[in-house]
């Protein structure tokens, strides 16, 4: 798939300047021979410019990004757009239908499969198609995620090392997204936010909270973040809505319980905590206090388990340092 000066092409879909096209592109076959198809939206502005690629649901239970794409493509028409938008609302179709992070076909996490393999497993083939036929058209990529169903702050991740040639460009993109919290830490191999920068495309990995279903506050932050990027990178007119300051973490510190029991937190997500500060209590099944847990570091209380009970040696949360 290639784009000339006038059209965006994805599979058999083509959007000329001034057009918005919605459709599906076949990328494989089901067990009964029916096509596996990815939904795609192409928005081609009347004025030439950069191309941005948006994707969501490479982990099948992370729905907030889908709602973000819905709103962005509703708001941004070809009449006001300079350049092109290519959006894939659902990347990991198998995992999406199974309501889980991993594909039930090959038990792989799609965001560990980029840039993919042409003769690989189902997830690797989908990643290969997207990377080589769609991602490579882009000047900027945004891969929308969330912390699965685990409660987590809204943040955006830079997944290349500090000595990577595109680290500065990726970090600037994360700042422009403007969600207020940035994790600046090299990620696992196979993430799109690593593979795309390796071929010269700045990419970020927003993590829009964590929940079952949709969280409207996280979705609203994701919409604002995409619009910020579109404004700053000259896709659309307008002033970005950026926070006065942003917290940058470079690693996580796990907070571990020594006792099994039920967790009563003294702090909330996004609270700044100091080393030695009491952050939680562990109570036994009768409600009696077993342990007070203190913060091992200074930082932001970043995430916590979905259920308020732990075994001994289990994490009650993570602090962004």
Is residue 264, in this structure, part of any structural domain at all? Answer: yes
Q: What is the DSSP string of 135-156?
A: GGG-SEEEEEB--TTS-B-EEE
Letter string b/e over residues 159-169, b meaning 16 or more CB atoms within 10 A of that residue's CB: bbeeebebbeb
pLDDT over threshold 50, residue 4: no
pLDDT tens by residue, 19-40: 999 999 999 999 899 999 999 9
Of the residues 199, 232, 265, the one at which a domain ends = 232
pLDDT tens by residue, 264-293: 999 999 999 999 999 999 999 999 999 999
Residues 6+ positions from 42 with CB-CB distance below 8 Å? 8, 10, 13, 14, 15, 19, 20, 21, 22, 84, 85, 86
Q: Residue 1: its pLDDT value, please?
A: 40
What is the band of 6 on the pLDDT scale with cuts at 50, 70, 90? confident
Claim to verify: residue 99 and residue 21 sit in the same structural domain: yes
Of the residues 232, 265, 300, the one at which a domain ends = 232
Domain that holds residue 132: 8-232
Q: What CATH code is carried by the domain that includes residue 131?
A: 3.40.630.10
Is residue 242, in this structure, part of any structural domain at all? Answer: no
Is residue 66, in this structure, part of any structural domain at all? Answer: yes
| Cα→Cα distances 121→28, 39, 86, 108, 321, Å | 11, 20, 25, 9, 37
Structure tokens at 136: 């490579």
Claim to verify: residue 256 and residue 214 sit in the same structural domain: no
Claim to verify: residue 220 and residue 259 sit in the same structural domain: no
pTM, to two decimals? 0.95
Q: Of 247, 80, 237, 243, give the one whose Cα is nearest residue 176.
A: 243
A 10 A CB-CB count for 95 gives: 26
pLDDT over threshold 80, residue 3: no
Q: What element of type H or E holds 131?
A: helix 122-133
Claim to verify: residue 302 and residue 187 sit in the same structural domain: no
Q: Residue 146: its pLDDT value, please?
A: 97
Is residue 240, in this structure, part of any structural domain at all? Answer: no
Decide if 310 contacts 261 (C-beta within 8 A). Answer: yes
Claim to verify: residue 83 and residue 218 sit in the same structural domain: yes
**Count of domains forming the chain:** 2
Lowest mean pLDDT among 5-9, 115-119, 230-234, 260-264: 5-9
Claim to verify: residue 179 and residue 54 sit in the same structural domain: yes
Q: Of 9, 27, 12, give the one whose Cα is nearest residue 124.
A: 27
Q: Residue 5: its pLDDT value, please?
A: 52
Q: Residue 217: its pLDDT value, please?
A: 97
């Amino acid at each position: 798939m290639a784009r000339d000066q006038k059209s965006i092409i994805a599979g058999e879909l083509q959007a000329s300047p001034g057009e918005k096209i919605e459709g599906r592109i076949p990328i494989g076959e089901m067990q009964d021979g029916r096509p596996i198809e990815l939904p795609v939206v192409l928005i081609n502005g009347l004025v030439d410019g950069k191309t941005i690629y948006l994707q969501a649901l490479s982990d099948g239970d992370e729905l907030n990004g889908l709602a973000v794409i819905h709103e962005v493509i509703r708001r941004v028409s070809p009449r006001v757009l300079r350049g092109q938008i290519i959006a894939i609302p659902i990347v990991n179709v198998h995992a999406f239908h199974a309501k889980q992070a991993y594909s039930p076909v090959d038990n792989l996490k799609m965001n560990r499969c980029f840039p993919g393999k042409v003769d690989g497993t189902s997830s690797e083939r989908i990643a290969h198609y997207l990377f080589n036929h769609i991602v490579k058209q882009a000047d900027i990529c945004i891969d929308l995620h969330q912390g699965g169903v685990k409660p987590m702050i809204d943040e955006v991740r830079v997944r290349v090392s500090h000595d990577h040639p595109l680290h500065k460009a990726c970090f600037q993109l994360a700042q422009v997204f403007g969600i207020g919290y940035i994790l600046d830490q090299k990620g696992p191999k196979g993430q799109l936010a690593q593979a795309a920068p390796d071929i010269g495309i700045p990419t970020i990995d927003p993590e829009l909270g964590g929940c079952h279903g949709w969280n409207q506050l996280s979705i609203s932050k994701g919409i604002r973040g995409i619009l910020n990027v579109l404004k700053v990178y000259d896709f659309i007119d307008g002033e970005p809505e950026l926070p006065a300051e942003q917290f940058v973490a470079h690693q996580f510190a796990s907070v571990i319980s020594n006792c099994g029991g039920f967790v009563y937190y003294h702090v909330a997500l996004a609270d700044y905590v100091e080393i030695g500060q009491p952050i939680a209590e562990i109570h036994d099944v009768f409600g009696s206090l077993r342990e007070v847990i203190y913060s091992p570091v200074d930082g932001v209380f970043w995430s916590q388990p979905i259920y308020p009970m732990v075994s001994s040696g289990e994490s009650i949360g993570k602090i962004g340092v």
